[in-house]
Chains A and B, each alone.
Chain A
Amino acid sequence: MLPGINGFHWQLGHLVFISIFFTIIIVILGTSALGFLRSASRLKSRDKETILWGHQFRDLASDEKACRHSMTGELKGRVCPNAFDCRDCVTHGDLITKAKPISSAPDEVAGLSYPGQRLYHRGHTWVEEQSDGTVLVGLDDFASRLIGKPDQVALPSPGRQLSVNGTAWTVRKSGAEVRILAPISGEVLETGGKDQGWYLRVQPDTPLSEDRHLLTAGEVGSWIRHELERLQVFASSPEVGAVLADGGELVDDLSDAFQPGDWDHVCSSFFLQP
């Protein structure tokens, strides 16, 4: 039937058939090529860590993506549209301008230690500015108690550049590998560990005052209570559902309280790693 074959003569049927067939082939190839080209251009324009986080954020459940202002009650049921990067968020800008300054916040929330001089990231890390302009980065009390003593910690080598919401370091506990999100961008100067109380000393790229995506002491209370609620749901048996307990303090090392599959799920949920 096709040109190049002995005895071939063009007819209307050939034209119609070949046109439709090749249009379809072109659309299939063109769509795939467009996908490739767009991907290549995105990969060139942004760093891979940011892209990875953007995609992972998309796959988080809506309660994991709750806006900080919906937890404090300023907004109702809002899901963060900016992948926890409030630096360019107009709503956040408006709300912090209108908010009354908080004179002092308690250093403890539900028995967990959250010192007021620190700033907190939704991936359960804290940042504390030092007098020499560097900052210390560590795991917050909730995460420390959740993980307990890690089986293995892989810290970045000094000199490595961190980007906000990229991987800061990884922890392995009871078979689950946890990627800890970097709360700020900057260069790693020194590494610590659980015993030192901090994990990284970082030279930040921007002053901490510009890192308005981090939670302040005034917001920590509502956020941690939200996290405790979620933790309770994970821990309660499906038959019983959530129960109201009398109170108390989180024990150190919760990994034993969960089945291996559930533990992986808990880590995925609280360290924002779908």
Chain B
Amino acid sequence: MDRHLIARGLDRTSFGRFCLWILPWLGILALGLYAAGICLVAGLNRTNMDNRFAFGLWIFLDLTVIAFGAGAFFTGFLLYVLRKKQLKSVINSAVVVGLACYSGAVAVLAVDVGQPLRAWFTFWHPNVHSMLTEVTFCISCYLCVLLIEYLPLLLKNRKLSRIPSFLVFEFEMHRLMYVLAGLGTFLSFFHQGSLGGLYGVLQGRPFAFREGIAIWPSTFFLFILSAMAVGPCFLMLIIWTVSKITRKELVSPDLGHLLGRVSGTLLAAYVLLKAVDTLIWMNHTAVARGADPFSFYAWQPFGSWILFTEVIVCGLVPAVIFLSRRLRSRQWLLVTAAILVCTGVGLNRFVMTIQTLALPTLPFDPFLNYWPSWQEVATFLGVIAYGVLLYSFSYRYLNLFPEERRSLRGTSSKAVAAPDSALVETT
């Protein structure tokens, strides 16, 4: 039914099966939109956040998907700026993942901030002393960059590419992509950092407060590094999942090793710096502010197991797997390591957002409990469904993996042939 929209040479499931796949996601998205609509119309009193617990599930989601979306800027940087040509086969996928993550984050942020009619206030009345101002500006700009990067992909659709003007524009934009990749790196670098810096400057919360360099606390740099490490892992996981669902080899296995090696190096640096940072915080920063660092881990369920899981299980272990040629050559270990890294970074964002706010700061403060309302959960799930749908449609109708098409045709050079018996009449 939609064959004329699918690029030639790409084998896709039937339209009926595709509808069956997207239908549940559409349902979840509809529920998410309804819940977000309620929050926008009736206000944030429909959520379980309050003045004490101002950041909840949505900010956790924002921080996590923005870190996962870092694969887009980092892959673009490696390909267009550092000229790592092998990554050409995953750059389209990275752009779609980045777009899904960032647009989803901006959408949920818009619901969280509320007052959509005054959305422009954030640009016209910015507070230059707030890390969030920098985050708002950078995320908005980077979303524009991602949309421009997605445009050439869209214009290569089988139907649209018949229009010469679109093809020429796609080609010209492609030639300028290194400018956007560089800009994306700059923007992403800063807003990933500012998201971390946001917690590091919380002087009234000794659990999160960190010292650093000039105006930037150490969390600024740790967030950048962790995002750069998790981006390729998330991309690898997405490609592996799509590959398993579609039962196709979409990229060469060497690419997984390359992404693993890059991620492993960054992760090792991150684990080292995180360990140093934690030790400095435990022995100096927190103590200097009159806090006993171990008391923060006495509030269950936030025990020291979280720190151990985040740094050792989801940091050191995958770093070792990625950096060992023998270990990363086993696909199941490569995938397990990627899952661990994504879990670790998600856990880190959870700790920074939820644990920071839940822990008491002053002696008379209670330990705060927060459980998201159904509207928050539905909006959260809606963003995930949106991401799945955007990727599913892009995979079906756009040529996300150039090697997928070539792998079908490329074998011909190896052929030793006379006409095949299915095609000939014997004479």
Q: Which residues of A contact B (CB under 8 A)?
A: 1-2, 5, 13-14, 17, 21, 24-25, 27-28, 31-32, 34-36, 38-39, 42-43, 48-49, 51-52, 55, 61-64, 110-111, 175, 177, 228-236, 241-251, 254, 257, 260-261, 264-265, 267-269, 273-274
Contacts and interface: CB of A to CB of B under 8 A. Distances in A.
Contacts of A232: 415, 417-420, 423
B141 A28 contact: yes
Interface of B is mostly: helix
B179 interface: yes
B8 A43 contact: no
Contacts of B421: 243, 245-246, 248
Interface string B32-64: 000000000000000000000000000000000
A49 B164 CA distance: 8
Given A21-B137, A229-B415, A248-B425, A261 B409 contact: no
Contact of A249 (B12, B412, B427): B427
Interface in B372-424: 405-406, 408-424
A1 B410 CA distance: 59
Given A31-B176, A63-B413, A247-B426, 20 more contacts: A1-B125, A2-B124, A27-B183, A28-B145, A35-B169, A35-B176, A36-B172, A52-B164, A63-B410, A110-B418, A228-B418, A231-B420, A232-B418, A233-B412, A242-B411, A246-B421, A260-B3, A264-B3, A264-B9, A265-B408
B171 A64 contact: no
Contacts of A63: 409-410, 412-413
A24 B183 contact: yes
A27 B412 contact: no
Contacts of B410: 61-63
B400 to A, nearest CB: 14
Interface string B136-172: 0100010011001000000000000110110111111
Q: Is the interface of A mostly helix, strand, loop or mixed?
A: helix
Contacts of B141: 21, 24-25, 28
A55 B167 contact: yes
A39 B172 contact: yes
B271 interface: no
B312 to A, nearest CB: 39
Nearest to B402: A59
Contacts of A62: 406, 410
A175 B419 CA distance: 25
Contact of B148 (A24, A31, A244): A31
